[in-house]
Amino acid sequence: MKKATAIIVGLVILGVLILFSMTFTVAYNQVAIRSTFGKVDQASIIRDPGLHFRLPFFADSVTLYDTRLQILESPLENIQTADGQQIVIRGFMLWRVDRENDGPLQFYRSFSDLASARDALRNQFRDAITLLSEYSFDALLGHESKLLEAEQAVLARMRSVVSEGIQPVTVGISRIAFKESTTSEVVRRMQASRDTLADSERARGSAEAERIRSQAAGVAEKILAFASQRAQEIRTEGEELAARYLTEMGKDEQLAIFLLWVDALEQSLSENTTFIIDTDMKPWHLLEAEGTDDVLSSGDGEDHQ
């Protein structure tokens, strides 16, 4: 009885092992290459996630590859720009195993695993990143930077690895450092650039100030011309009124003299002022005048009847 039980248990374990050896699972982020007796073809690529079957034991071999983005970072590289400046750069690249067409099959034939692919890509990436030496320093970091264009050029160079089942996704420059000699040169050039910009702004400000002064002078001249014309008109009008007034006053000179005396007296007494004077002085003699005739007669020293 015990012997039969042991046999049954053994058969069950054997069946489980056989079943286990005949199945494999592909995750959503994986692609599998199933080789039969070491041979692979287009049908060997398995992209659908889930449970799959294979020939038991060593008849079929399954290799799984992670198709998520991988990052590759280059070491610091010394590069001389097109204008002779020494810079130190570091770049990175995002890549993945190509899932499309025969990409997984090409990767399987080119590399044993992701680590070996990363090692091979590192050397190619270091070579591709030297394309930045074709750009001047100002083109990389200046006001009109072409750094994005340079990154796209490096990415285009790395497209050559597509034939090996690798899909480059993006390339970027993560760090740019300077040697000591380059740093002083950069500072000098930046200072010169700022000085040029400052001179340009000062010249623009001076031109704007001159324009404002010229415009203000033109407006002032117009105002002065208008004011001068208006003053001449008022002066002419006043002279005409004065002429008419003098004409009317000339009709009776004694009355005119009297009115002038009254006006002078009124102005003199407009404030609280104390005068000690002789009342014979004109026009103060009006204070003793008893009548208009006496006043008028005293104006010219003649008696009027």
Of 117, 125, 72, 122, nearest to 97 (Cα)? 117
28 and 84 share one domain: no
For residue 305, being part of any structural domain is answered with: no
125 and 168 share one domain: yes
- C-alpha span between 150 and 142 (Å, rounded): 13
For residue 183, being part of any structural domain is answered with: no
Q: What is the pTM of this model?
A: 0.53
Of 249, 282, 244, nearest to 265 (Cα)? 282
pLDDT of residue 292: 47
Of 195, 147, 193, 188, nearest to 171 (Cα)? 147
- C-alpha span between 96 and 24 (Å, rounded): 23
pLDDT of residue 303: 41
173 and 83 share one domain: yes
35: β partners: 61
Which residues have CB under 8 Å from 249's CB, separation 6+? Answer: 255, 256, 259
246 and 294 share one domain: no
168 and 77 share one domain: yes
Whether omega before 75 lies within 30 degrees of 0, making that bond cis, reads: no
- C-alpha span between 61 and 53 (Å, rounded): 11
Among the three residues 66, 86, 103, which one is the final residue of a domain in this structure? Answer: 66
148 and 222 share one domain: no
82 and 94 share one domain: yes
260 and 244 share one domain: no
For residue 92, being part of any structural domain is answered with: yes
For residue 54, being part of any structural domain is answered with: yes
234 and 263 share one domain: no
pLDDT of residue 138: 80
Number of domains in the chain: 4
The domain of 142 spans 70-178
93 and 160 share one domain: yes
135 and 93 share one domain: yes
Q: Give me the CATH number covering residue 94.
A: 3.30.479.30
For residue 187, being part of any structural domain is answered with: no
pLDDT of residue 171: 92
Among the three residues 233, 251, 269, which one is the final residue of a domain in this structure? Answer: 251
- C-alpha span between 96 and 99 (Å, rounded): 9
For residue 25, being part of any structural domain is answered with: yes
Residues of the chain with pLDDT under 50: 291-292, 295-296, 298-305
Among the three residues 152, 178, 204, which one is the final residue of a domain in this structure? Answer: 178
For residue 144, being part of any structural domain is answered with: yes
Amino acid at 149: E
pLDDT of residue 102: 86
For residue 189, being part of any structural domain is answered with: no
108 and 167 share one domain: yes
